[in-house]
Protein backbone atom coordinates (compact mmCIF):
# COMPACT_ATOMS: atom_id res chain seq x y z
CA UNK A 1 0.00 0.00 0.00
CA UNK A 2 2.78 2.43 0.98
CA UNK A 3 4.76 1.69 -2.18
CA UNK A 4 1.69 2.18 -4.31
CA UNK A 5 0.97 5.47 -2.61
CA UNK A 6 4.53 6.68 -3.13
CA UNK A 7 4.33 5.72 -6.82
CA UNK A 8 1.19 7.74 -7.26
CA UNK A 9 2.77 10.80 -5.65
CA UNK A 10 5.85 10.44 -7.86
CA UNK A 11 3.65 10.04 -10.92
CA UNK A 12 1.85 13.29 -10.10
CA UNK A 13 5.11 15.18 -9.66
CA UNK A 14 6.55 13.62 -12.83
CA UNK A 15 3.49 14.63 -14.83
CA UNK A 16 3.89 18.24 -13.72
CA UNK A 17 7.62 18.25 -14.27
CA UNK A 18 7.40 16.64 -17.72
CA UNK A 19 4.90 19.14 -19.05
CA UNK A 20 6.79 21.87 -17.22
CA UNK A 21 10.16 21.18 -18.86
CA UNK A 22 8.79 20.96 -22.39
CA UNK A 23 6.86 24.18 -22.05
CA UNK A 24 9.20 26.21 -19.84
CA UNK A 25 11.38 27.06 -22.83
CA UNK A 26 8.42 28.76 -24.47
CA UNK A 27 7.41 30.87 -21.48
CA UNK A 28 5.94 34.22 -22.46
CA UNK A 29 8.14 37.30 -22.54
CA UNK A 30 8.23 38.65 -18.99
CA UNK A 31 7.86 42.23 -20.26
CA UNK A 32 4.82 41.49 -22.37
CA UNK A 33 1.92 43.08 -20.58
CA UNK A 34 -1.51 41.53 -20.81
CA UNK A 35 -4.93 42.50 -19.64
CA UNK A 36 -5.54 41.39 -16.03
CA UNK A 37 -1.90 40.44 -15.80
CA UNK A 38 -1.16 39.14 -12.30
CA UNK A 39 2.53 39.77 -12.53
CA UNK A 40 5.28 39.49 -15.10
CA UNK A 41 5.03 36.56 -17.51
CA UNK A 42 1.61 35.49 -16.31
CA UNK A 43 -1.50 35.90 -18.42
CA UNK A 44 -4.55 35.67 -16.14
CA UNK A 45 -6.97 36.25 -19.02
CA UNK A 46 -6.21 32.88 -20.58
CA UNK A 47 -8.82 30.10 -20.23
CA UNK A 48 -6.20 27.83 -18.67
CA UNK A 49 -4.97 30.38 -16.12
CA UNK A 50 -7.50 28.64 -13.87
CA UNK A 51 -7.05 24.95 -12.98
CA UNK A 52 -9.77 22.41 -13.86
CA UNK A 53 -12.98 23.53 -12.09
CA UNK A 54 -12.84 20.69 -9.53
CA UNK A 55 -9.71 22.26 -7.98
CA UNK A 56 -10.38 24.86 -5.26
CA UNK A 57 -8.09 27.76 -4.39
CA UNK A 58 -5.92 27.30 -7.49
CA UNK A 59 -5.30 30.98 -8.29
CA UNK A 60 -4.79 34.40 -6.74
CA UNK A 61 -6.20 37.72 -7.94
CA UNK A 62 -4.61 41.09 -8.57
CA UNK A 63 -4.95 43.74 -5.84
CA UNK A 64 -8.50 45.06 -5.51
CA UNK A 65 -10.06 42.37 -7.70
CA UNK A 66 -13.22 40.42 -6.77
CA UNK A 67 -14.45 37.13 -8.17
CA UNK A 68 -17.78 35.36 -7.78
CA UNK A 69 -18.30 31.74 -8.72
CA UNK A 70 -20.95 29.06 -8.77
CA UNK A 71 -20.21 25.35 -9.00
CA UNK A 72 -22.48 22.39 -9.41
CA UNK A 73 -20.96 19.09 -8.30
CA UNK A 74 -22.45 15.66 -8.56
CA UNK A 75 -20.92 12.51 -7.12
CA UNK A 76 -22.41 9.17 -8.10
CA UNK A 77 -21.86 6.02 -6.04
CA UNK A 78 -23.23 2.70 -7.22
CA UNK A 79 -22.46 -0.64 -5.58
CA UNK A 80 -20.27 -1.64 -2.67
CA UNK A 81 -16.59 -2.46 -2.37
CA UNK A 82 -14.42 -4.22 0.17
CA UNK A 83 -10.74 -3.50 -0.29
CA UNK A 84 -10.24 -3.40 -4.06
CA UNK A 85 -13.07 -5.85 -4.85
CA UNK A 86 -16.68 -5.13 -5.73
CA UNK A 87 -19.16 -6.93 -3.50
CA UNK A 88 -22.84 -7.56 -4.29
CA UNK A 89 -25.65 -6.42 -2.02
CA UNK A 90 -26.74 -10.07 -1.73
CA UNK A 91 -23.42 -11.13 -0.22
CA UNK A 92 -23.52 -8.33 2.40
CA UNK A 93 -27.13 -8.94 3.43
CA UNK A 94 -28.35 -11.71 5.70
CA UNK A 95 -28.27 -14.67 5.45
CA UNK A 96 -24.99 -14.55 3.42
CA UNK A 97 -23.60 -11.55 5.30
CA UNK A 98 -24.35 -10.11 8.75
CA UNK A 99 -26.35 -7.00 7.79
CA UNK A 100 -30.15 -6.60 7.70
CA UNK A 101 -29.74 -3.43 5.55
CA UNK A 102 -27.22 -2.38 2.88
CA UNK A 103 -26.85 0.87 0.88
CA UNK A 104 -26.96 0.25 -2.90
CA UNK A 105 -26.59 3.71 -4.41
CA UNK A 106 -25.89 7.30 -3.39
CA UNK A 107 -25.98 10.62 -5.19
CA UNK A 108 -24.42 13.68 -3.63
CA UNK A 109 -25.12 17.01 -5.23
CA UNK A 110 -23.52 20.25 -4.16
CA UNK A 111 -24.33 23.80 -5.17
CA UNK A 112 -21.39 25.95 -4.17
CA UNK A 113 -21.19 29.71 -4.24
CA UNK A 114 -17.70 31.13 -3.90
CA UNK A 115 -16.29 34.62 -3.42
CA UNK A 116 -12.70 35.79 -3.77
CA UNK A 117 -11.15 39.16 -2.99
CA UNK A 118 -7.54 40.29 -3.12
CA UNK A 119 -6.74 43.07 -0.61
CA UNK A 120 -3.09 42.89 -1.77
CA UNK A 121 -1.28 41.31 -4.68
CA UNK A 122 0.29 38.71 -2.39
CA UNK A 123 -2.90 37.56 -0.63
CA UNK A 124 -6.35 36.56 -1.88
CA UNK A 125 -9.18 35.76 0.53
CA UNK A 126 -11.70 33.12 -0.45
CA UNK A 127 -15.00 31.88 1.01
CA UNK A 128 -17.10 28.90 -0.13
CA UNK A 129 -20.78 28.39 0.74
CA UNK A 130 -22.04 24.87 -0.06
CA UNK A 131 -25.61 23.62 -0.28
CA UNK A 132 -25.72 19.82 -0.17
CA UNK A 133 -28.37 17.32 -1.33
CA UNK A 134 -27.82 13.63 -0.53
CA UNK A 135 -29.94 10.65 -1.59
CA UNK A 136 -29.15 7.10 -0.54
CA UNK A 137 -30.94 3.98 -1.79
CA UNK A 138 -31.00 0.82 0.34
CA UNK A 139 -32.06 -2.81 0.22
CA UNK A 140 -33.11 -4.92 3.18
CA UNK A 141 -32.60 -8.65 3.76
CA UNK A 142 -36.34 -9.12 3.15
CA UNK A 143 -36.04 -7.51 -0.31
CA UNK A 144 -37.53 -4.14 0.62
CA UNK A 145 -36.10 -0.98 -1.00
CA UNK A 146 -36.05 2.49 0.55
CA UNK A 147 -34.34 5.86 0.15
CA UNK A 148 -33.12 8.33 2.74
CA UNK A 149 -32.55 11.96 1.91
CA UNK A 150 -30.93 14.95 3.56
CA UNK A 151 -30.21 18.45 2.34
CA UNK A 152 -29.10 21.83 3.62
CA UNK A 153 -26.13 24.12 4.13
CA UNK A 154 -22.79 22.32 4.35
CA UNK A 155 -19.60 23.44 6.07
CA UNK A 156 -18.54 26.96 5.05
CA UNK A 157 -14.84 27.24 4.17
CA UNK A 158 -12.67 30.33 4.39
CA UNK A 159 -9.15 30.39 3.00
CA UNK A 160 -6.26 32.81 2.65
CA UNK A 161 -4.17 32.17 -0.47
CA UNK A 162 -0.67 33.50 0.22
CA UNK A 163 1.80 33.96 -2.61
CA UNK A 164 5.09 32.09 -2.17
CA UNK A 165 6.68 32.56 -5.58
CA UNK A 166 6.08 34.56 -8.73
CA UNK A 167 8.44 34.15 -11.67
CA UNK A 168 7.84 34.39 -15.39
CA UNK A 169 5.64 31.39 -16.18
CA UNK A 170 5.63 30.04 -12.62
CA UNK A 171 3.59 30.81 -9.53
CA UNK A 172 3.10 29.08 -6.18
CA UNK A 173 1.02 29.83 -3.11
CA UNK A 174 0.05 28.54 0.29
CA UNK A 175 -3.60 27.59 0.99
CA UNK A 176 -4.41 28.41 4.60
CA UNK A 177 -8.02 27.36 5.08
CA UNK A 178 -10.53 26.64 7.82
CA UNK A 179 -13.78 24.69 7.47
CA UNK A 180 -16.50 25.86 9.91
CA UNK A 181 -19.10 23.47 11.38
CA UNK A 182 -22.13 25.14 9.78
CA UNK A 183 -23.39 21.86 8.24
CA UNK A 184 -25.82 19.80 10.30
CA UNK A 185 -24.79 16.52 11.94
CA UNK A 186 -28.36 16.04 13.24
CA UNK A 187 -30.09 14.95 10.02
CA UNK A 188 -32.88 12.41 10.48
CA UNK A 189 -35.23 10.53 8.16
CA UNK A 190 -37.71 7.66 8.05
CA UNK A 191 -36.52 4.08 7.55
CA UNK A 192 -38.44 0.77 7.59
CA UNK A 193 -36.84 0.00 10.98
CA UNK A 194 -37.84 3.35 12.53
CA UNK A 195 -41.59 2.51 12.54
CA UNK A 196 -42.74 5.82 11.08
CA UNK A 197 -40.48 7.85 13.36
CA UNK A 198 -37.60 10.01 12.14
CA UNK A 199 -34.32 8.45 13.18
CA UNK A 200 -30.72 9.71 13.23
CA UNK A 201 -29.06 9.08 9.83
CA UNK A 202 -25.59 7.45 9.54
CA UNK A 203 -22.33 9.35 8.93
CA UNK A 204 -22.37 9.73 5.12
CA UNK A 205 -25.87 11.28 5.19
CA UNK A 206 -24.76 14.18 7.41
CA UNK A 207 -24.12 17.60 5.86
CA UNK A 208 -21.10 18.66 7.89
CA UNK A 209 -18.32 17.33 10.09
CA UNK A 210 -19.41 19.08 13.29
CA UNK A 211 -15.78 20.03 13.91
CA UNK A 212 -13.59 22.99 12.99
CA UNK A 213 -11.24 21.58 10.35
CA UNK A 214 -7.92 22.99 9.16
CA UNK A 215 -7.36 22.93 5.40
CA UNK A 216 -3.62 23.40 4.83
CA UNK A 217 -2.31 23.18 1.30
CA UNK A 218 0.21 24.28 -1.28
CA UNK A 219 -0.40 24.99 -4.99
CA UNK A 220 1.98 25.41 -7.91
CA UNK A 221 1.03 26.51 -11.44
CA UNK A 222 3.07 26.97 -14.60
CA UNK A 223 2.24 28.61 -17.90
CA UNK A 224 3.86 28.29 -21.33
CA UNK A 225 2.83 29.81 -24.68
CA UNK A 226 0.22 27.19 -25.50
CA UNK A 227 0.04 25.03 -22.40
CA UNK A 228 -0.16 25.10 -18.63
CA UNK A 229 0.20 22.71 -15.75
CA UNK A 230 -0.03 22.60 -11.97
CA UNK A 231 -0.15 20.60 -8.77
CA UNK A 232 -1.88 20.96 -5.43
CA UNK A 233 -1.57 19.12 -2.12
CA UNK A 234 -4.33 19.66 0.45
CA UNK A 235 -5.20 18.24 3.85
CA UNK A 236 -8.33 18.21 6.01
CA UNK A 237 -7.34 18.05 9.67
CA UNK A 238 -10.23 17.71 12.13
CA UNK A 239 -9.72 19.58 15.40
CA UNK A 240 -11.07 17.73 18.43
CA UNK A 241 -14.45 16.04 18.44
CA UNK A 242 -17.92 17.34 17.61
CA UNK A 243 -20.87 17.81 20.00
CA UNK A 244 -21.72 14.08 19.66
CA UNK A 245 -18.21 13.09 20.74
CA UNK A 246 -16.98 11.72 17.42
CA UNK A 247 -15.04 13.15 14.51
CA UNK A 248 -14.70 12.32 10.85
CA UNK A 249 -11.34 10.99 9.66
CA UNK A 250 -8.59 13.29 8.43
CA UNK A 251 -8.18 13.45 4.67
CA UNK A 252 -5.51 14.35 2.20
CA UNK A 253 -5.48 14.98 -1.51
CA UNK A 254 -2.77 15.31 -4.15
CA UNK A 255 -3.59 16.41 -7.66
CA UNK A 256 -1.81 17.41 -10.88
CA UNK A 257 -3.24 18.82 -14.08
CA UNK A 258 -2.17 19.96 -17.52
CA UNK A 259 -3.99 21.85 -20.28
CA UNK A 260 -3.44 22.98 -23.85
CA UNK A 261 -4.93 26.11 -25.47
CA UNK A 262 -6.07 25.37 -29.04
CA UNK A 263 -8.05 28.65 -29.16
CA UNK A 264 -7.79 31.87 -27.06
CA UNK A 265 -11.33 31.21 -25.82
CA UNK A 266 -10.92 27.68 -24.51
CA UNK A 267 -8.50 25.12 -23.13
CA UNK A 268 -8.65 21.33 -22.96
CA UNK A 269 -6.93 19.43 -20.22
CA UNK A 270 -6.81 16.55 -17.83
CA UNK A 271 -6.25 15.91 -14.17
CA UNK A 272 -5.10 13.10 -11.92
CA UNK A 273 -6.16 13.08 -8.25
CA UNK A 274 -5.20 10.90 -5.31
CA UNK A 275 -7.34 11.04 -2.18
CA UNK A 276 -7.14 9.19 1.10
CA UNK A 277 -9.58 9.56 3.94
CA UNK A 278 -9.65 7.82 7.30
CA UNK A 279 -12.21 6.16 9.57
CA UNK A 280 -14.49 7.99 11.98
CA UNK A 281 -13.03 8.27 15.46
CA UNK A 282 -15.52 7.70 18.30
CA UNK A 283 -19.13 7.07 17.37
CA UNK A 284 -22.51 8.73 17.16
CA UNK A 285 -24.46 7.11 20.01
CA UNK A 286 -27.75 8.44 18.60
CA UNK A 287 -27.57 5.72 15.91
CA UNK A 288 -28.67 3.37 18.70
CA UNK A 289 -29.74 -0.26 18.20
CA UNK A 290 -32.47 -0.58 15.57
CA UNK A 291 -34.53 -3.76 16.18
CA UNK A 292 -32.18 -4.58 19.05
CA UNK A 293 -29.10 -4.81 16.81
CA UNK A 294 -26.18 -2.38 17.41
CA UNK A 295 -26.26 0.21 14.57
CA UNK A 296 -22.82 -0.78 13.25
CA UNK A 297 -24.04 -4.37 12.73
CA UNK A 298 -27.33 -3.18 11.27
CA UNK A 299 -26.07 -1.17 8.27
CA UNK A 300 -22.41 -0.69 7.15
CA UNK A 301 -22.81 3.13 6.89
CA UNK A 302 -23.30 3.28 10.69
CA UNK A 303 -19.95 1.57 11.41
CA UNK A 304 -17.27 4.19 12.23
CA UNK A 305 -14.57 1.67 11.23
CA UNK A 306 -15.94 1.24 7.70
CA UNK A 307 -15.52 4.82 6.52
CA UNK A 308 -11.89 5.03 5.35
CA UNK A 309 -10.54 4.54 1.86
CA UNK A 310 -8.33 5.74 -0.94
CA UNK A 311 -8.98 6.48 -4.54
CA UNK A 312 -7.11 7.52 -7.68
CA UNK A 313 -9.14 9.41 -10.28
CA UNK A 314 -8.34 10.79 -13.71
CA UNK A 315 -10.49 12.78 -16.08
CA UNK A 316 -10.88 15.42 -18.78
CA UNK A 317 -11.57 19.11 -18.26
CA UNK A 318 -12.46 22.10 -20.42
CA UNK A 319 -12.29 25.82 -19.56
CA UNK A 320 -13.94 28.63 -21.57
CA UNK A 321 -13.49 32.37 -21.25
CA UNK A 322 -15.51 35.00 -23.11
CA UNK A 323 -13.13 37.56 -24.55
CA UNK A 324 -15.53 40.07 -26.14
CA UNK A 325 -18.91 41.69 -25.67
CA UNK A 326 -21.08 42.25 -22.61
CA UNK A 327 -20.02 38.94 -21.05
CA UNK A 328 -16.30 39.62 -21.46
CA UNK A 329 -14.31 37.84 -18.77
CA UNK A 330 -17.07 35.34 -17.94
CA UNK A 331 -15.69 31.83 -17.48
CA UNK A 332 -17.41 28.46 -17.89
CA UNK A 333 -15.74 25.18 -17.01
CA UNK A 334 -16.54 21.51 -16.87
CA UNK A 335 -14.72 18.52 -15.44
CA UNK A 336 -15.35 14.82 -14.97
CA UNK A 337 -13.34 12.47 -12.74
CA UNK A 338 -13.35 8.70 -13.14
CA UNK A 339 -11.74 6.19 -10.77
CA UNK A 340 -8.83 4.03 -11.87
CA UNK A 341 -8.07 2.65 -8.41
CA UNK A 342 -10.26 2.30 -5.30
CA UNK A 343 -9.46 0.64 -2.00
CA UNK A 344 -12.13 0.96 0.71
CA UNK A 345 -12.62 -0.18 4.28
CA UNK A 346 -15.81 -1.97 3.38
CA UNK A 347 -18.40 -2.89 2.60
CA UNK A 348 -18.63 0.77 1.61
CA UNK A 349 -20.29 2.48 -1.37
CA UNK A 350 -17.80 3.14 -4.18
CA UNK A 351 -17.60 6.42 -6.13
CA UNK A 352 -18.08 5.83 -9.87
CA UNK A 353 -17.87 9.36 -11.19
CA UNK A 354 -17.69 12.98 -10.10
CA UNK A 355 -18.83 15.83 -12.31
CA UNK A 356 -18.17 19.52 -11.70
CA UNK A 357 -19.50 22.42 -13.77
CA UNK A 358 -18.97 26.07 -12.89
CA UNK A 359 -19.22 29.73 -13.79
CA UNK A 360 -16.72 32.37 -12.63
CA UNK A 361 -16.68 36.12 -13.06
CA UNK A 362 -14.01 38.56 -11.88
CA UNK A 363 -14.52 42.34 -11.63
The nearer residue to Cu ion, 116 or 254, going by C-beta atoms, is: 116
Q: How far is the CB of 297 from Cu ion (least distance, A)?
A: 47
- Interface with Cu ion includes 299 (CB under 5 A)? no
With CB under 5 A as the contact rule, which of the stretches 60-68, 132-140, 226-234, 350-358 interacts with Cu ion? 60-68
Paired strand residues for 263: 266
- Encoded one letter per residue, x for contact with Cu ion by CB under 5 A and - for no contact, window 98-117 reads ------------------x-
Between CA 114 and CA 182 the distance in angstroms is 16
Per-residue x/- mask for Cu ion, residues 236 to 255, rule CB under 5 A? --------------------
Instruction: Name the residue nearer to Cu ion (CB basis): 271 or 296.
Output: 271
Q: In terms of CB distance, is 23 or 67 closer to Cu ion?
A: 67
Nearer to Cu ion, 114 or 154 (CB): 114
- CA dihedral 59→63→64→68, nearest 10 degrees, is 0
CA distances from 260 to 138, 167, 217, 288 (A): 43, 20, 25, 53
DSSP secondary structure string for all residues of 58-125: -----TT-EEEEEEEEEEEEEEEEEETEEE-HHHHBTTTSSBSEEEEEEEEEEEEEEEEEEEETTEEE
Q: Which residue is closest to Cu ion by CB?
A: 67
Contact, 173 vs 164, CB < 8 A? yes
Q: Which stretch binds Cu ion (CB under 5 A): 5-13, 62-70, 154-162, 264-272?
A: 62-70
Burial class (CB in 10 A: 0-12, 13-18, 19+), 50: buried
In angstroms, give the least distance from the CB of 57 to Cu ion: 9
Q: Which is nearer to Cu ion, 119 or 294 (CB)?
A: 119
In whole angstroms, what is the distance from residue 347 CA to residue 244 CA?
A: 24
Distance of CA 240 to the CA centre of its chain: 22
Q: How far is the CB of 44 from Cu ion (least distance, A)?
A: 9
User: Per-residue x/- mask for Cu ion, residues 115 to 154, rule CB under 5 A?
Assistant: -x--------------------------------------
* Vertex 252 angle, CA 246 and 258, to 5°: 150
Nearer to Cu ion, 67 or 136 (CB): 67
Query: Total residues contacting Cu ion (rule CB under 5 A)?
Result: 2
67 binds Cu ion (CB under 5 A): yes
CA-nearest of 132, 162, 136, 140 to 149 is: 136
Q: Which chain residues interact with Cu ion by CB under 5 A?
A: 67, 116
Amino acid sequence: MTIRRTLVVLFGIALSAAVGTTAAAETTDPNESTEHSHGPGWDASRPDSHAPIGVMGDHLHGEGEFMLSYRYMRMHMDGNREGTDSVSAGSILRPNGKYPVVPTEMNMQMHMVGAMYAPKDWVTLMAMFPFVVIDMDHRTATGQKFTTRSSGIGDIKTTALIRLLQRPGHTAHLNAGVSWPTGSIDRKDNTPASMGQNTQLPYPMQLGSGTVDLLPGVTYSGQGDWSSWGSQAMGTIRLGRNSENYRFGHEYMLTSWAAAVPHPWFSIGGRIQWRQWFDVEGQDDRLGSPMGIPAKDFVPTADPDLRGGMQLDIGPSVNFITKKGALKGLRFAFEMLLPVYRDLDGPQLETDWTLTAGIQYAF
